[in-house]
């Protein structure tokens, strides 16, 4: 039998062979070989330096999950008794997360960032002609009105007026551009997963020494588009686009250069766990090697030299990801590198002097490795060479890349509380009933001393020593629960001070002293807010502002809409909002009470009073629509009241005149002899 192959199949096979050969040659170039060797050397150093941090993170994760470290658990089990774990750390972490989310992700407050135009825009050279035209028009008008040319001083003043007018127009135009840019970024954040990534980042912030957010990163997005079928009916069409996205980066997956304290000080690695779908989505994305990605997919799962199976397995167990060793779907381990590479190395690896003009300089690069393939190797697209990552810590450690987390701050307190709780449970069990002392010399050999039941008859024998001691004696062990509870209460209260998260923040109503009154509790919460305000300041400066700034720069460089582009600055306002909110609600209530009098009501009117009530109800999270009617509804209500008053019969005084009318006043004046 002969195999018949069409010309089209032959052409396809030849094309596949040609692409495979080109890929093999490309992967074997000195550039990619040198990059791979450089990355392996750099990653080994970063991985070794991170081992103590991984132990800290695993310990923090166990502590939050309510699990003992393996060595500690073995000691407890060897001693016997209870292995209870009090979830103080989880409570504090959860309360901190809720507190931060209330500040930064509150819907009524808007996003925790803003964009504002520069206060005094510079006049570009091209507006000089507009200034001269305006001056000429005004000079001609003055000549027509006054019949003579204006003086030099008058022309100077006219120029100043023209400059101020143009500057005001530029400010107004800049504000319109800024509003357009803000709406654009809000839409990109909504579609790019900013809120989800930021929420997960907050959980990491409370749990681990540092937390990370990545973005904007251009990726392929699937979306629904709407079109018409042959019958003119609306139908859904699956579409794709390249758009910026944001994501939380697992702290276990980040490997910084040893010894650095900031992200942009040195190189950085990120370990990715990619499914086949994740990897295939990179096909067609600019700067990725499509042939290399297809070759990786053809080879199957790629688990490479940088995966630490021990840490991975324990981490997934603690996170509740009980993944079997034999997985039905292929997973791919990818290593992403961001950092500087010397120009001399790039030239030695095969790049031209046009691509690398100065071999003495350091060039920022981004490289991806999956298995044995380099699927991406480009220079950093950021104009300033910054990495698309942001990071901060709940408590910063100056000079260190990694900070401190809530579990680490209260680790000793958690340990003491656990010890007290175990002792309480053990003591409760021992003291829950009487203990029994048995004189074996007076018990027959076949008697089962563990068999206890009411009305049991014990057989005893004479003591060989002729003593009068009892064969069986009952005694009650002492209970130390009260003392142990005092220790537990004392140390659990210290957790409030060490973590900066007071118990009344997460709903504990057992507050003594000033906390028993509403004003006193407000003062305590204000004092506690100073600690969380510092954390929010870290988030503002290290996460929110850099991320929005990068998205702003991305739009300025790549967006085709010129109407949203202009000189502006990004402002993070999370800490500012917290400081203002602490006093605003109380001041509004005070103002509402102070203006509840006839004199002020004549000034502010019903509309003003309604606006004040609306702001107070909104600040107190009350259903605003059910309490204060809208402006339109108030207008309808006012017109209905006026109409009803006009149609009501007039009240008459005893003389038959309208009460308070003009005629009554005239009669009164006549009687008194007044005009």
| Per-residue pLDDT tens digits for 300-344 | 766 666 677 778 888 888 888 766 555 556 788 899 999 988 888
More confident residue, 462 or 6: 462
pLDDT for 549 beyond 50: yes
Cβ atoms within 10 A of the Cβ of 492, count? 20
So what's the pLDDT on residue 240?
81
C-beta separation of 356 from 237 below 8 A? no
What pLDDT, on the 0 to 100 scale, is given for residue 665? 43
For residue 296, pLDDT beyond 50: yes
Which segment of 138-152, 482-496, 659-673 scores lowest on mean pLDDT? Answer: 659-673
pLDDT exceeds 50 at position 202: yes
For a pLDDT cut of 90, what percent of the chain falls above it? 27
Residues facing residue 554 across a β-bridge: none
Cis peptide bond prior to 216, omega within 30° of 0 = yes
Window from 180-189, 266-275, 461-470, 510-519 with minimum mean pLDDT = 510-519
pLDDT, average across residues 155-181: 76
Q: pLDDT (tens digit, 9 = 90+) per residue, 111-147?
A: 888 888 766 555 556 566 666 677 777 777 777 777 7
CA distance 613 to 588: 9
Note the Cα 338 to chain centre separation in Å: 23
Pairing of strands 234-249, 254-256: unpaired
Q: What is the reported pTM?
A: 0.73
Strands (E), 118-233: 211-228
The pLDDT assigned to 552 comes to 92
* 294, pLDDT greater than 90: no
pLDDT band at 164 (very low <50, low <70, confident <90, very high): confident
The answer to whether 272 touches 303, Cβ cutoff 8 Å, is no
Residue 99 pLDDT class (50, 70, 90 cuts): confident
Q: Is the pLDDT of residue 167 over 60?
A: yes
Q: Is the pLDDT of residue 602 over 90?
A: no
């Amino acid at each position: 039998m002969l195999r018949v192959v069409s010309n089209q199949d032959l052409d396809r096979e030849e094309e596949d062979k040609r692409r495979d050969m080109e890929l093999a040659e490309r992967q074997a170039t000195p550039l990619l070989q040198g990059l791979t060797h450089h990355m392996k050397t750099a990653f080994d150093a970063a991985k070794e330096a991170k081992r103590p941090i991984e132990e800290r993170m695993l310990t923090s994760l166990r502590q939050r999950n309510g699990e003992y470290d393996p060595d500690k658990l073995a000691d407890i089990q060897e001693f016997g008794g209870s292995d209870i774990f009090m979830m103080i750390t989880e409570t504090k972490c959860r309360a901190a997360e809720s507190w931060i989310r209330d500040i930064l992700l509150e819907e009524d407050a808007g996003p925790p960032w803003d964009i504002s135009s520069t206060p005094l825009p510079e006049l570009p050279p091209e507006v000089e002609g507009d200034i001269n035209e305006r001056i000429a028009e005004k000079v001609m008008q003055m000549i027509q009105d006054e019949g003579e040319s204006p003086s030099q001083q008058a022309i100077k003043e006219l120029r100043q007026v023209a400059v101020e007018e143009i500057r005001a127009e530029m400010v107004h135009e800049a504000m319109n551009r800024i509003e357009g840019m803000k709406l654009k970024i809000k839409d990109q954040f909504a579609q790019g997963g900013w809120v989800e990534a930021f929420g997960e980042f907050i959980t990491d912030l409370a749990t681990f020494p540092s937390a990370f957010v990545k973005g904007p990163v251009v990726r392929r997005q699937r979306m629904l588009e709407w079109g018409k079928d042959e019958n003119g009916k609306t139908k859904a069409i699956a579409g794709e686009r390249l758009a910026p996205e944001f994501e939380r980066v697992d702290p276990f997956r980040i490997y910084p250069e040893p010894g650095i304290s900031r992200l942009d000080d040195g190189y950085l690695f990120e370990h990715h766990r990619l499914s086949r779908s994740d990897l295939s989505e990179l096909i067609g994305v600019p700067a990725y090697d499509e042939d290399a990605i297809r070759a990786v997919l053809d080879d199957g799962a790629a688990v490479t030299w940088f995966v630490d199976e021990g840490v991975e397995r324990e981490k997934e167990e603690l996170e509740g990801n009980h993944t079997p060793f034999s997985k039905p779907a292929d997973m791919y381990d990818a290593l992403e590198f961001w950092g500087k590479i010397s120009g001399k190395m790039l030239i030695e690896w095969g790049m031209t002097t046009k691509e690398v003009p100065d071999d003495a300089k350091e060039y920022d690069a981004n490289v991806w490795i999956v298995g044995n393939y380099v699927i991406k190797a480009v220079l950093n697209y950021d104009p300033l060479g910054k990495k698309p990552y942001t990071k901060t810590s709940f408590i910063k450690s100056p000079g260190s890349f990694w900070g401190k987390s809530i579990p680490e701050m209260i680790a000793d307190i958690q340990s003491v509380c656990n010890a007290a709780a175990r002792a309480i449970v053990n003591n409760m069990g021992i003291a829950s009933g009487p203990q029994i002392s048995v004189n074996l010399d007076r018990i027959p050999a076949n008697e089962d001393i563990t068999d206890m039941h009411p009305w049991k008859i014990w057989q005893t024998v004479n003591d060989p020593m002729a003593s009068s001691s009892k064969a069986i004696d009952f005694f009650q062990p002492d209970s130390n629960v009260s003392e142990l509870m005092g220790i537990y209460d004392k140390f659990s209260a210290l957790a409030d001070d060490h973590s900066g998260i007071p118990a009344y923040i997460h709903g504990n109503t057992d507050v003594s002293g000033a906390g028993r009154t509403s004003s006193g509790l407000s003062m305590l919460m204000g004092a506690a807010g100073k600690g969380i305000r510092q954390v929010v300041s870290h988030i503002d400066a290290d996460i929110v502002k850099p991320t929005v700034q990068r998205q702003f720069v991305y739009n300025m460089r790549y967006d085709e809409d010129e109407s949203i582009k202009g000189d502006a600055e990004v402002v993070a306002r999370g800490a500012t909002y917290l400081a203002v909110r602490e006093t605003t609600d109380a001041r509004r209530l005070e103002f509402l009470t102070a203006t509840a009098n006839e004199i002020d009501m004549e000034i502010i009117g019903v509309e003003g009073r309604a606006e004040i009530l609306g702001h107070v109800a909104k600040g107190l999270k009350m259903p605003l629509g059910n309490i204060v009617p809208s402006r339109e509804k108030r207008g309808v209500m006012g017109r209905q009241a006026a109409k009803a008053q006009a149609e009501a019969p007039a009240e008459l005084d005893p003389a038959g005149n309208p009460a308070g009318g003009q005629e009554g006043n005239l009669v009164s004046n006549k009687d008194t002899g007044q005009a």
